[in-house]
Amino acid sequence: MLISTIILSCMKNRGPVSWDANYSTPLAYGSLGITDIISDTLYSINTDNTINIHYKRNLYQLSLDSIVELPDNQLSNVFALPFPVAIDFSPGQTFINQPEEQNFSINSVELKDFSIESAILNYTITSTIQGEVIYDYTVNSAIDINGNPFQISIVVPAAQNGSSSQISGTINIPASNWNLEGASGNEINTILTTVNVKVSENNLLPISVSNLDTLYIDNEIKAIVPISARGYFGEEIFQTGLDTTKLDFLNSIVSGSIGLSNIEMNLISNNGIGTDFRMLINSLSSIGNNYIDLNHSIIGQTQNINRAYEVGNSIITSESNQLINSSNSNINAFLENLPSDLGYDIMVELNPLGNVSGHNDFIHKDFPLNLDLDLTTPLAFNSNQLTIIDTIDIDLPDTIGINYGSLYLELTNGFPLEAEILISTLNSPSQFQDLSLISGANLNSSNIVSTPAVSSHVINVSAESMEELKTSRKIIISATFNTLSQPQLVDFYDYYNLSFKISADFNTTVTVQ
């Protein structure tokens, strides 16, 4: 009994027990393939499993909003009634019916018509008339899809005790076609409107109106969303100045160089606007490892761009193409520079010959003037220190108590490229270590991979690196490739990849309470 008491007493007073233990666990697996070098939207697979790159990019666009700006328009009327003596008007009787031509301000262009998706009409009506009236406003020039002109009808309250009355509001203008040729049919920038004012049926008695009464009408048409326009768009020069656009071609490559062959790049101008243009490309530059200007006859030479034309309700665009290849330019050096950005300086002249169409220029929002870059090349290259990077999620178990450990990396290199592999933590690229040079896959007599190269590696993980891993649960794999047979070009196939398996031995502290 005494011995049992002593043993129980010792067990009761003892603290937690800890010891270190090692255990193994898989962490991640995956591969770096062609889609990690080139976006899968940029290439196509040939019947023999070789790869063609096809990259298209809009370099410049001139659209409806740039050429025809439809600003807000203030359309005002003041009606001082022309009755020298007071005249009584019965309920329902009209005392103003006034058709008008008004100028529609459209900056420097001269339009015969335009169409819109929508617009807004803001109105304010002020009246000194001692009775309720109905204000009807019709834009005879604006015809909707059903063939009806735009019209509003507003009840204007009666003025009281010698003071004027006022009413304001906003109305949406629906999709419509606007004729700007006026009453004669030969004018420009001119709309037809009609103001009609009558005595409201709500008046029980006739109302008296004289030349002492005034009706002030302010209409503002704004927030116009245009669809198309016709007229003369003037002579104007549009210049980009020195500017850049991003290129996502080979966007996973962070450094190194490549050699390419059989590159064809087309500069395609496609004009959907019914006007003539002149275009001058002052410069086109590859901005990557270096800054390389394109050398080609199109640079610094004025190009005439013909107008589009209409057949029925269809627009037939005008297209021209400039072929750029290794025979007529430095396109190889231009793209082997691995550009992340494209620099350009472009000037476009509108209607260089003046109003040759007789106010029949046309433009539609869906048919701009485009300058596109269209690149095609087989994926066959040699490489020197070509580096790509991928972020890998790792499946860590419960990280409590993990101290340090070792990563076991198995690599299967299916590329015909030697590779230097760097494993690092997400936020500390200097941690972990470089692996030794990884052999490239074996090639057969046709220069096609016959067997991949397999290698195994051990990476020690310090306590500091382990803390980073426990936080981010990610590692970075950086692969730097060199072709085995430089300067000979190597064809790439869609099944080439570098696959990996990562497992670990961790030292952990186990604690029992």
Give residue 47's pLDDT.
83
Nearest-Å Rg of the Cα atoms of the chain is 38
Dump pLDDT digits (tens) for 229-262.
999 999 999 999 999 988 776 555 555 556 677 7
The vertex-372 CA angle with 367 and 374, nearest 5°, equals 135
State yes or no: pLDDT of 363 exceeds 80: yes
End-to-end CA distance of the chain: 27
What three-state secondary structure class fits 3? helix
Per the structure block, which two tokens stand in for 272? Answer: 């959907």
Rounded CA gap, 217 and 100, in Å? 13
Look at residues 1, 230, 10 and name the one whose alpha carbon lies nearest to residue 113. Answer: 230
Q: For position 377, what pLDDT does the model report?
A: 82
Residue 322 in this model has a pLDDT that exceeds 90? yes
Of the listed ranges 162-171, 366-375, 491-500, the one predicted with least confidence: 491-500
- Bridge partners of 119? 173
pLDDT at 461 over 50: yes
CA 396 to chain centre: 38
Q: What is the pLDDT of residue 436?
A: 63
**Distance (Å, whole) CA 177 – CA 13:** 94
3-state secondary structure of 148: coil
pLDDT computed for residue 161 by the predictor: 79
Angle (CA) 16-17-23 rounded to 5° is 130
CA distances in angstroms from 219 to 72, 73, 301, listed in the order given = 11, 8, 49
Length of the chain: 513
Identify residue 188 by its one-letter amino acid code. I
pLDDT band at 504 (very low <50, low <70, confident <90, very high): confident
Q: What percent of the chain has pLDDT over 90?
A: 45
Q: pLDDT digit string (tens) for 136-180?
A: 999 999 999 999 999 999 999 999 877 899 999 999 999 999 999
Mean pLDDT (the chain) is 84
Q: Are 152 and 250 in contact (CB under 8 A)?
A: no
Q: Which pLDDT belongs to residue 3?
A: 46
Residue 185 has pLDDT above 80, yes or no: yes
Instruction: Specify burial of residue 178 (Cβ count, 10 A radius: 0-12, 13-18, 19+).
Output: buried
At 464, give phi and psi (nearest 5°): -65, -45
Distance CA 236, CA 60 (A): 17
pLDDT of 324 over the 80 cut: yes
Lowest-confidence pick of 172-181, 329-338, 484-493: 484-493
Tokens 């550009």 sit on residue = 339
435 has pLDDT over 80: no
Q: Which residues pair with 419 in a beta bridge?
A: 438, 481
**C-alpha pair distances (Å), 103 with each of 96, 100, 141, 191, 380:** 21, 10, 12, 6, 63
Query: For residue 332, which phi and psi values (nearest 5 degrees)?
Result: -60, -50
**Predicted local confidence at residue 17, as pLDDT:** 58
Between 509 and 212, where is the model more confident? 212
How high is the pLDDT of residue 420?
80
pLDDT of 370 > 80? The answer is yes
Tens of pLDDT, residue by residue over 98-109, are 898 989 888 789
- Model confidence at 492, pLDDT cuts 50, 70, 90, reads confident
